[in-house]
Amino acid sequence: MAESPAVSVPSSSAPSRAHARAQDEREPPVMRWWGWGEDARAGALPPHALAFLRENVGVAARPCPPVALANVRLRAAEIGADVLAALREIVGRDHVRGSHVERVVHAAGKGYPDLVRLRAGEPEDAPDAVVLPADRAQLQLVLELCARSRVAVVPFGGGTSVVGGVAPLRGEHAAVISLDMRRLRDIELDRESLLVTVGAGLRAPALEAYLAGRGLTLGHFPQSYEYVSLGGCAATRSAGQASSGYGAIAKMVVGVRMCAPASELALAPFPASAAGPDLRALVVGSEGALGVISELSLRARVAPAARAYEGAFFESFDAGVAALRALAHAHAAHDVARLSDEEETRMSLALAGVHTLKDRLGRAYLALRGYRGGCLAILGFEGADDEVAGRRKRALALVRRAGGLPVGTSPGEAWRRSRFAAPYLRDELLTHGVIVETLETATQWSNLLRLRAAVARALAETLGAGGTPPLVMCHVSHLYETGASLYFTFIARQREGEEIGQWREAKEAASAAICAHGGTITHHHAIGRDHARWLREEIGGEGVAALRALKAELDPAGVMNPGKLLA
Amino acid sequence: MAESPAVSVPSSSAPSRAHARAQDEREPPVMRWWGWGEDARAGALPPHALAFLRENVGVAARPCPPVALANVRLRAAEIGADVLAALREIVGRDHVRGSHVERVVHAAGKGYPDLVRLRAGEPEDAPDAVVLPADRAQLQLVLELCARSRVAVVPFGGGTSVVGGVAPLRGEHAAVISLDMRRLRDIELDRESLLVTVGAGLRAPALEAYLAGRGLTLGHFPQSYEYVSLGGCAATRSAGQASSGYGAIAKMVVGVRMCAPASELALAPFPASAAGPDLRALVVGSEGALGVISELSLRARVAPAARAYEGAFFESFDAGVAALRALAHAHAAHDVARLSDEEETRMSLALAGVHTLKDRLGRAYLALRGYRGGCLAILGFEGADDEVAGRRKRALALVRRAGGLPVGTSPGEAWRRSRFAAPYLRDELLTHGVIVETLETATQWSNLLRLRAAVARALAETLGAGGTPPLVMCHVSHLYETGASLYFTFIARQREGEEIGQWREAKEAASAAICAHGGTITHHHAIGRDHARWLREEIGGEGVAALRALKAELDPAGVMNPGKLLA
């Protein structure tokens, strides 16, 4: 007889993972109802920035703050008493909420039209109740109840959507609940496998804090990082600022559970599989329209010992793009890579303040005076000491070969310090009567410059025709071997009394330009409400039909997040 | 008015890719009908290998070659004359084939039960016709015709499936065609974006030859490489031997088109997108059960200037696994990484022949005489010269720190030379009355040793109980941050007259052990016919229901590859 295999591990029927379990005890923070973040973090616009705005786009005659909370008008809650009673039965009396402040906080996400309406005290709608399940079992019961009762369900994680993803739309249903996931925030770590399993309501900073204490990181840092939930990141196929190195959330989700009215879809965290289509990819990006992500198993990484964030100047955007492409093709992997165009470079230097300019760029800036109108790139490297040194050296050699001028770490560190600041700034611009909106896409390298030109032209023409010529800025980020994303920011004077119409015209023009010129309608903001009509352009009629067939299976009553994604 | 954006690229409505187009003119090769590859490549078993088998598992008293082609029994073709006429109308008379040899060649893939039956001249079934569309338009018409006529359609690429993926099963339908994709083999290159778009019937070697002429590579080298089609790779979520570096096919597929009876699903090659669930992941792994992949846009890479394939010995499998895990976690990225267990190491050295042993391991082997029962690992590095040197140095330092002994390039180069040889060897073993079968799974690092023990024990017990104790060998390959795959090979004396039953018992026991101990039912062989009953274990009832809902949308008549995947 042959030798029996030499093995040393006893078997049992459950995986032998030595798992650390924890519950994040801190109550997740709640953002101010009318804008981004918390008051403590916000600051008024400095005088030189206001002067820049006045000079370039114009500002309102006087600041226009949001109305008082008590003056926000909500329609009366319409949910049936029997449904409320049944919800209380499932999640407990304290976790079915209908106060004015709860309804306002869950009335919208943080997109431009959301903020315009909230500040005016006129949200489009509000949930009839806010429901906070404690665990997967309660979640499943809530969904089944809502399906039976024909109550629309809008999942709510951190509430950071900028595309209307958490707007309490009812669809054809009389009532709508906001399903706040904040209580599902267990953490379980399989250290040996670098696999961390979390409740979907867990916030990104809470996970990073837990992992940091164990020498690990997830590496997912979207601009919404400070408030975003991990379930929300997965549901929207989020990509963090360091995605060129760490990958977008889709690459981090190894296993996932999704509760749907029909039943639960549970996909084990195999590192890889060839067992039919990858259903994880159906759950990631499902935006609450097929079900609610309840639990995620995420790939962690060893926390980087070293970090180097560098600036580099290029004479033109085209030259910078060529350099980033060379870096992506050579796998000279940076973890963060972004290249601002001339306009964005000019504006970010101006907003940083003339008095801090020298501090930020130091002597290198002086050497660059000839480079007027140049483009600033930020390249960030993270990892083990020797690894960072090696990658940095290789990357900067490529940058130089492509005509770039490395200008040291000051601009990189400045960017890193302010990487989550833009949404606070937006609130200040709104106070001063300035529309600021961002939109993003991705395309092949061979199409990148052409797509950028088309979108920028569409925005300039549309807003210019409306009498409010904009500043249109763009940066490249999120590098891939075959292409990259483009992120546009535009600012203009608000058209008073027509703020939403002005926004809609610009958004429509930009979206049409993106679809007509070979871009995806969204690289990382998701579909939500604002892009729903463009989904068919992207995946075709048969793609939409396939998703509808899935929805019919998982959510036959059509209560899950109506008015979004498949609307 | 604000400056208009500085842009330099004119716009038009079509992407400005400077594309090279080509048609692969060489007719793809056809394998011998009863086994792997072509006769010219096959060789008889050397005497020392036969002696090893005789000693370890036993061999047949006399060699048993396959029957003559003319003696293969097929049932009469049953397809209606009207359907045949309509098919000829679509693809042309020459491309609807029904000869004995065509039907035999398309009667099965290359799994163990397929070969046992073919060699005996008793395939389970054969297609009623073989149909070869020339392009996507013909393909779509063929599918629509078959759906209307209720004729089952079994897509056929290279015919390399080892899990019954191309078996001409009819399901509930009276007739079945084999849809041979060999004529769809256009190639179109977007060099700037490293994106190559190919017809799904293109074979991997033809693509590599095309790319090599342009300084590029795809980097997808499954053991079936010499015959596999790219559509087949995508349909089965294939992973190549270099997947630790280049990624599995799922990471290479950027865009895809799939013809389905209901209509075509076309997904543009965006580098990334957050526009709802990633439907590409539904097409990849769909195994012809939802539709037929017709075209793929694949990410290429710059061809490596340098290659280094190294051997390293570990005192035990456990020590080697710990080393591979450390490499994966440190991103000390090798492109190929595999670790044989003690039994596989012993067997591969024995089959290589005592007389070549010193050649293969050189002086290092002599230094290892104390290491009896050690485990051999192969680590392969590919890339730019300096990059390979740096990665190799970093990886070998980690290997040494983990107790491994690097033994130079001889074993690595020997492995590289014979990397596609195993299926030829299998034919020889069958001739000598020896069952040889492989199966594979993947799991988390924390569960790897336990899963290996469980599967090896299941195989040893089942085959032992049947009176044919096996040699069970295993290697780790395809490293991921959170886990790795396990690849098992077992050999035993065939139970004469009960070859299929013997195989089924072993396969059943191994599959049950995999599912009970936290492994995926398949890491890269796919579901096909042989794993269909295990899919539910993997993705649950709701997962199967979701796939069925998709199939109902795309293939309402249920003609696509019945009896596989969702059977």
pLDDT in the model for residue B1? 35
Residue B5, C-beta contacts closer than 8 angstroms, at least 6 positions apart:
A341, A343, A453, A456, A457, A460, A472, A474
Question: A94-136 pLDDT, tens per residue?
Answer: 999 999 999 999 999 999 999 999 999 999 999 999 999 999 9
Sign of torsion, CA B204 B208 B209 B211? positive
CATH topology of domain A66-180: 3.30.43
Please state, in angstroms and rounded to a whole number, the distance separating the CA atoms of residues A440 and B403: 49
Q: What is the distance in angstroms between the Cα of A137 and the nearest Cα belonging to chain B?
A: 16
Region of B331 (left: φ > 0; alpha: ψ -120 to 50; beta: rest) is left
CB contacts, 8 Å: B443 with chain A? 270-271
Contact A390, A383 (CB under 8 A): no
CB neighbourhood size of A170 (10 A): 18
Question: B74-128 pLDDT, tens per residue?
Answer: 999 999 999 999 999 999 999 999 999 999 999 999 999 999 999 999 999 999 9
Q: What is the distance in angstroms between the Cα of A225 and the nearest Cα belonging to chain B?
A: 17
Q: What is the distance in angstroms between the Cα of A66 and the nearest Cα belonging to chain B?
A: 28
Beta strands in A384-482 (DSSP E): 405-408, 434-444, 471-479
Work out the mean pLDDT of chain A and round it to a whole number.
Answer: 92
Helix (H, G, I), strand (E, B) or coil at A382: strand
Q: Characterize the bridge pairing of strands B306-314 and A375-383.
A: unpaired
Please state, in angstroms and rounded to a whole number, the distance separating the CA atoms of residues A6 and B457: 10
- Pair of tokens at residue B87: 């098919």
CB neighbourhood size of B14 (10 A): 9
- DSSP class of residue B69 equals G
Is residue B333 very low, low, confident or very high in pLDDT (cuts 50, 70, 90)? low
Write out residues 191-230 of A within 8 Å (CB-CB) of B. 192-195
pLDDT in the model for residue A265? 98
- Pair of tokens at residue B343: 């039994």
Question: B177-202 pLDDT, tens per residue?
Answer: 999 999 999 999 999 999 999 999 99
* One-character DSSP codes across B358-413: HHHHHHHHHHTGGGTT-EEEEEEEEESHHHHHHHHHHHHHHHHHTT-EEEESHHHH
pLDDT in the model for residue B444? 98
Helix (H, G, I), strand (E, B) or coil at A188: strand
Residue to substitute from A270, A278, A544, interface B, most B β-carbons within 10 A? A270
- Pair of tokens at residue A157: 């994680």
pLDDT in the model for residue B68? 98
Q: B296 versus A356: which is more confidently predicted?
A: B296
Q: Do the Cβ atoms of A274 and B526 come within 8 Å?
A: yes
pLDDT higher than threshold 80 for residue A420: yes
Instruction: Of A382, A394, A368, A397, give the one whose Cα is nearest residue A303.
Output: A382
Q: A244 versus B171: which is more confidently predicted?
A: B171
Percent composition of chain B: helix, strand, coil (DSSP 3-state, to 5): 40, 20, 40
Q: How many residues comprise chain A?
A: 567
pLDDT in the model for residue A541? 97
Is residue A359 very low, low, confident or very high in pLDDT (cuts 50, 70, 90)? low
CB neighbourhood size of A373 (10 A): 13
Please state, in angstroms and rounded to a whole number, the distance separating the CA atoms of residues B159 and B32: 11
Write out residues 334-393 of A within 8 Å (CB-CB) of B. 341-343, 373, 383-384, 386-387, 390
Q: Which single residue is written with the structure tokens 């195994």?
A: B287
- In a 13 Å sphere around the CA of A12, the CA atoms on its Cβ side amount to 4
Residue B25, C-beta contacts closer than 8 angstroms, at least 6 positions apart:
none
The partner residues of A190 in beta bridges, in order of sequence, read: A19, A195
Instruction: Of A176, A296, A274, A239, give the one whose Cα is nearest residue A440.
Output: A239
- Pair of tokens at residue B557: 């008549």
Region of B188 (left: φ > 0; alpha: ψ -120 to 50; beta: rest) is beta
Please state, in angstroms and rounded to a whole number, the distance separating the CA atoms of residues A223 and B429: 59
| H or E stretch at A357 | helix A354-367
Q: Do the Cβ atoms of A456 and B15 come within 8 Å?
A: no
CB contacts, 8 Å: B288 with chain A? none
Is residue A353 very low, low, confident or very high in pLDDT (cuts 50, 70, 90)? low
Could you name the CATH architecture of B41-180? 2-Layer Sandwich (3.30)
Instruction: Of A230, A238, A310, give the one whose Cα is nearest residue A478.
Output: A238
Q: Do the Cβ atoms of B275 and A285 come within 8 Å?
A: yes
pLDDT higher than threshold 50 for residue B3: no
Is residue A354 very low, low, confident or very high in pLDDT (cuts 50, 70, 90)? very low
pLDDT in the model for residue A59? 95
Q: Characterize the bridge pairing of strands B175-180 and A483-493.
A: unpaired
Write out residues 54-113 of B within 8 Å (CB-CB) of A. 56-57
pLDDT higher than threshold 60 for residue B248: yes
Name the amino acid, one letter, at B106. Answer: H
pLDDT in the model for residue A399? 94
The partner residues of A408 in beta bridges, in order of sequence, read: A311
pLDDT in the model for residue A410? 87
Q: Mean pLDDT over residues B336-345, rounded?
A: 93
- Pair of tokens at residue B366: 């002599």
Chain-centre distance of CA A45, in angstroms?
A: 24
Please state, in angstroms and rounded to a whole number, the distance separating the CA atoms of residues B352 and A505: 71
Q: Which single residue is written with the structure tokens 């924390």?
A: B446
* One-character DSSP codes across B488-549: EEEEEE--TT-HHHHHHHHHHHHHHHHHHTT--S-SSS--TTTTGGGHHHHHHHHHHHHHHH
- Pair of tokens at residue B461: 């017990």
Please state, in angstroms and rounded to a whole number, the distance separating the CA atoms of residues B378 and B348: 13
pLDDT higher than threshold 80 for residue A21: no
List alpha helices for A236-292, DSSP H. 243-246, 249-252, 280-283
Question: A64-84 pLDDT, tens per residue?
Answer: 999 999 999 999 999 999 999
- pLDDT above 90 covers what percent of chain A? 82
Helix (H, G, I), strand (E, B) or coil at A73: coil
Please state, in angstroms and rounded to a whole number, the distance separating the CA atoms of residues B42 and B293: 31
Residue to substitute from B292, B444, B515, B523, interface A, most A β-carbons within 10 A? B444
| H or E stretch at A551 | helix A535-554
pLDDT in the model for residue B424? 93
pLDDT higher than threshold 70 for residue A238: yes
Is residue B365 very low, low, confident or very high in pLDDT (cuts 50, 70, 90)? low
Q: What is the distance in angstroms between the Cα of B316 and the nearest Cα belonging to chain A?
A: 9
Could you name the CATH architecture of A306-417? 3-Layer(aba) Sandwich (3.40)
pLDDT in the model for residue B5? 36
CATH topology of domain B186-302: 3.30.465
Please state, in angstroms and rounded to a whole number, the distance separating the CA atoms of residues A441 and A436: 17
CB contacts, 8 Å: A8 with chain B? 318, 449, 453
- Pair of tokens at residue A483: 């292409």
Q: What is the distance in angstroms between the Cα of A170 and the nearest Cα belonging to chain B?
A: 20
Q: Do the Cβ atoms of B15 and A518 come within 8 Å?
A: yes
At what angle are helices B342-352 and B354-367 packed, to 10 degrees?
130
- Pair of tokens at residue A490: 């535009």
CB neighbourhood size of B376 (10 A): 28
- Rounded to 5 degrees, φ, ψ at A2 are -70, 155
Question: A521-539 pLDDT, tens per residue?
Answer: 999 999 999 999 999 999 9
pLDDT higher than threshold 70 for residue B551: yes
Structural domain spans, chain B: 41-180, 186-302, 306-417, 422-530
- Pair of tokens at residue A535: 């989904």
Domain B306-417 in the same topology as domain B186-302:
no
Could you name the CATH architecture of B422-530? 2-Layer Sandwich (3.30)
Chain-centre distance of CA A438, in angstroms?
A: 12
